[in-house]
Amino acid sequence: MQQCKEKMETYLQQNQVPFQEQQHPRTFSARTIAESEHISSKKTAKTVILQVNDQMMCFVLPAAYYVDMGKVRAITGTGNVRLAHEDEFELAFPDCEVGTMPPFGNLYGIPVYVDTSLAAEDSITFPVGTYTDTMSIKYADFERLVHPRVAIFAQAQADF
């Protein structure tokens, strides 16, 4: 799905944001992307799509973390929170392969939350619509373009 990658390239160029593009072997997890690109999993962003009161929202966090639903309920002020089903977010991100959406929910009309642990990084790397492509930009540029709500909702995964 080159359309998402091209959309991101155009958007970043129009906003004068320098970026780097990387490719890696086909992979389905943010942690594997970090390993294959030799990038810290703390800088590798994954986007988790949740339904909050029947509104789709992007929650962006480091690859080695997971979304703590209790914390999401607390920051959104509702108990009605669940993971979005693939068919729901597939429609919202029609130019992306399932699960490879960039953390730019603003380009898709979807509110974005970012975890404080990712916001502390100087740069972030994220998928751009395919299972083989990523981009890296300065976190400050991401924040300037997306205006995410910064909150604490991620929990580190235990290594096995």
For 20-44, the pLDDT digits (tens) are 998 766 665 666 666 666 676 778 8
Which of 32, 71, 31 has its CA nearest to residue 154? 71
What percent of the chain stands above pLDDT 70?
86
Calculate the CA 98 to chain-centre distance.
13
Tell me the average pLDDT across 99-123: 94
Residue 132 backbone phi and psi in degrees, to 5:
-130, -5
Q: Enumerate the β-bridge partners of residue 136.
A: 20, 125
In whole angstroms, how large is the CA radius of gyration of the chain?
Answer: 14
Secondary structure of the chain as H, E, C letters: CHHHHHHHHHHHHHCCCCCEEEECCCCCCHHHHHHHCCCCCCCEEEEEEEEECCEEEEEEEECCEEECHHHHHHHHCCCCEEECCHHHHHHHCCCCCCCCCCCCHHHHCCCEEEEHHHHCCCEEEEECCCCCEEEEEEHHHHHHHHCCEEECCEEECCCC
User: Is pLDDT of 87 > 60?
Assistant: yes
Per CATH, the homologous superfamily of domain 2-156 is YbaK/aminoacyl-tRNA synthetase-associated domain (3.90.960.10)
Question: Per-domain residue ranges for the chain?
Answer: 2-156
User: Is pLDDT of 64 > 80?
Assistant: yes
